Structure 1
Amino acid sequence: MKQINSNSLLELLQNDVRELLLQCSQLQNTDVAWLTTQPAAGKWSVAHVLEHLNIYARYYINAIEQKLHLNQSGANLVFTPGWLGNYFTQLMKPASDNSLKSKMKSPANAVPSAQPDALAMLQEFINHQHHLLNLLQIARTANLDYIRVATTLSKLITLKLGDTFRFFIAHEQRHFLQIKSTLQVVGPVVADLQER
């Protein structure tokens, strides 16, 4: 795998998180009906997507923080992605044209509730992103290759810390494309209902 400068990678990931926070500020100014309306029967609303992301954030942010708290490894100048971590990241990450390579079914333990509280889910997601920014900053003193984080798939499947950050943020970017397309569908429907 191609090596990446560790600080450059962390800066890039921080910029990705800041971009997600900018999109969240737009969601905060969106009518709550847009956030809770499903684009079609059986499809997730924006609130559903946010709860799904929060389910992952509750696990990964806690797991990353615990590993960083125990960090005795010292920083490394370059990070080499692992084959599994790189595979997961590439599977999740949107293409440069903002398209998705494939559709994926969410695991049963990451399916949102029937009617999540949209504003609570949005605020929780924002809080997680601020926490994530702090963890990315702390990670500048850690070895992104040496520290390993267990995945939600199994405690036996672990990823390098650098890959965990890459995969986790790519997953969020993927679902923010879903949020964007959901809003494009539900916006006219909600506006039509509100005019009646």
Structure 2
Amino acid sequence: MNYDLQKADLSVVVAEAGLVADETRRIFGQLSAAQINWKPGQGDWSIGQCFDHLTIANRPYLPIIQEIRQGRKRPRLRERLPLLPGLFGKMIIKTLQPDSGRKVKARPQFLPSSTAIDPGIIGAFLDQQESLVKEMKATRELELERITITSPILSLITYSLMDAYRIIVVHEQNHFVQARRVLEAPGFPT
């Protein structure tokens, strides 16, 4: 996987999103409920929680992208400020990269379930990923760097639609790597 997406164009981001989906299906697609819910330690997330978190975090992006694609989205005042979107987008992408060494706490509304997660979460993530990729591809004719959105995570932050795509995929890569570490941790059930 290519973790440096700061300047990646749409074709690279879409390819990376496809790779995340393919590798998720291959590596995590056949895990049992016990494996999906196993945690390496107190306070650590399970594989299921990693993918539950991603489906929760990605969900708000779909209607935003659809509104833009359909020409129904009107820019908010904050989205019209010229310097902020570029600054915030790059900062978030850099922070979320799997090899950044930074640990970012999820906001409460984006935390995964604390109860047992159904192994179907992998299929749910893959279905959502397919929808996201389809929406990304449908916007390829738009000026993605010039369209600004407000972050669904923190309303004070704005970034370009292209940076939103980069953020989505880098965030997925981050939690894919986290889930992979769980799978490789000592004591993982076989």
CA contact (8 A) 1:54 1:125 kept: yes
Pairs within 5 Å for 1:143-154: 143-154=143-154
Correspondent of 2:88 among 84, 89, 94: 84
Q: Which amino acid aligns with 1:93?
A: Q
Unaligned runs of at least 5 residues, structure 2: 1-5, 74-84
CA contact (8 A) 1:64 1:149 kept: no
Q: Which amino acid aligns with 2:86?
A: G
Give the % identical residues.
23
Report the counterpart of residue 190 of structure 1 in structure 2: 189
SS in structure 2 of the partner of residue 115 of structure 1: coil
CA contact (8 A) 1:32 1:118 kept: yes
SS in structure 2 of the partner of residue 190 of structure 1: coil
Mapped pair 1:40 → 2:41: yes
Q: Tell me the TM-score normalized by structure 2.
A: 0.82
Change (3 A) 1:183 1:154: same
Unaligned runs of at least 5 residues, structure 1: 73-80, 192-196
Could you say which structure has the higher helix fraction?
1
Alpha-carbon distance in 1 for matches of 2:116, 2:167? 25
1:108-167, Cα deviation, whole Å (9 max, x unpaired): 111111124332321211011101111121121111122222113433422111111111
CA contact (8 A) 1:92 1:167 kept: yes
Q: Tell me the TM-score normalized by structure 1.
A: 0.80
How many correspondences in the alignment? 173
CA contact (8 A) 1:149 1:159 kept: yes
Alpha-carbon distance in 2 for matches of 1:144, 1:189? 42
1:165-187, Cα deviation, whole Å (9 max, x unpaired): 1111111111100000011116x
Runs (4+) off by over 6 Å? none
CA contact (8 A) 2:47 2:182 kept: yes
Alpha-carbon distance in 2 for matches of 1:24, 1:173? 10
Q: Which amino acid aligns with 2:106?
A: S
Report the counterpart of residue 54 of structure 1 in structure 2: 55
Report the counterpart of residue 118 of structure 1 in structure 2: 118
Correspondent of 2:97 among 93, 100, 107: 93
CA contact (8 A) 1:61 1:128 kept: no
Q: Which amino acid aligns with 2:29?
A: Q
Of structures 1 and 2, the larger Rg is shown by 1
CA contact (8 A) 2:88 2:158 kept: no
CA contact (8 A) 1:71 1:142 kept: no
Mapped pair 1:163 → 2:145: no
SS in structure 1 of the partner of residue 154 of structure 2: coil
How far apart are 1:63 and its partner, in Å?
1.7
Report the counterpart of residue 76 of structure 1 in structure 2: none
